[in-house]
Amino acid sequence: MQTLTHTDTNATLDASKSQLPTLTHTRNPGMELDLDWVARVQANTSAIERRAATLSGRRSVKKDFQAAWLLKAISLIDLTTLSGDDTEGRVKRLCAKARQPVAPWILDKLGLQGLTTGAVCVYHDMVETAVRALEGTSIPVAAVSTGFPAGLSPYHLRIAEIGESVRAGAKEIDIVISRRHVLTGNWQALYDEMREMRAACGEAHIKAILATGELATLRNTARASLVCMMAGADFIKTSTGKETVNATLPVTLTMIRAIRDYQDRTGIKVGYKPAGGIAKAKDALLYMALMKDELGHPWLQPDLFRFGASSLLGDIERQLEHHLTGQYSASNRHAMG
């Protein structure tokens, strides 16, 4: 089993002290749809699954190094509540957790200050509440949009919803694509849809949710990733969190290799966001190791990598407390909202 290097871990700990989203790269402007490039994209499913299956045995961090990587993971979390029973009170409590994600005594013992989550992600109706609750911080509000999670509301309403969320103060918009365009191979329709949604976002950054659990094959996932990047997506994201199958390591490997191919061709960096089902600290470490292996250190920064999660933060805080005390606390001591 290989251990990540001391230099890598120190760099991660230093990065975890920084405040978020200063953009370190040129925003993706998109490009003309290249159908020949899309048609050439393949995905070797068995090889991808083998590579993903070996990751846990090849990458490991322990003790102080693990604590440093977990602190870094906190700065990459889009702390999320997307429930039908969301209230203003719940969102305010979630925002308070985003501002102070770890108990102050833990940060004091680790010598850190100013650590926050990457963003707070809510439905449109809660955007203004979240913006007010986060005043005085650099934490952006992300809004799920375009008929989330199915993406089947009338198209003009989906576009209008983006504009409403931006006007309410959302700095990031997580849109859902029309899965039928992928399943029928209508790449022009997917490109046109994504391009118009990107334009509706204006200065707000757009994360394209592929809902990979509903795309049938890894090849479809790879091609949809590429088309969304051609249309100007700032991030590509696995899932809404509402599908039967959400983020997985094979899907992640497929999508981040599409990101690498796009950068090789265009010179533009695009971000990645796995969402749904990432609830344990050990899982976050695997995703971070895969990002570093495949794309390098820039993709361990919040302007290029986020976790879509809610319960993940609680488990990370428990692991940090165990690191300092040798004891696990009850999970109900780390409520999100």
Q: Which residues are catalytic?
A: 174, 237, 273
Q: Which long-range contacts (CB under 8 A, 24 or more apart) does 4-7 make?
A: 4/59, 4/60, 4/61, 4/65, 4/69, 4/289, 4/292, 6/65
Q: Are 276 and 240 in contact (CB under 8 A)?
A: yes
* Nearest one of 137, 126, 115 to 80, comparing CA atoms: 126
Helices (H), 169-248: 179-183, 187-201, 218-230
* HEC profile of 248-279: CHHHHHHHHHHHHHHHHHHCCCCEEECECCCC
Tell me the C-alpha distance between 228 and 292, whole Å. 23
Tell me the C-alpha distance between 16 and 76, whole Å. 9
Tell me the C-alpha distance between 244 and 221, whole Å. 16
User: ∠ CA 220-223-227 to the nearest 5 degrees?
Assistant: 135
Please report, for the chain, how many H helices and E strands are present, in that order: 14, 8
Burial of 311 (0-12, 13-18, 19+ CB in 10 A): middle
Instruction: Enter the tokens of residue 131.
Output: 């913006």
* Nearest one of 277, 337, 321 to 103, comparing CA atoms: 321
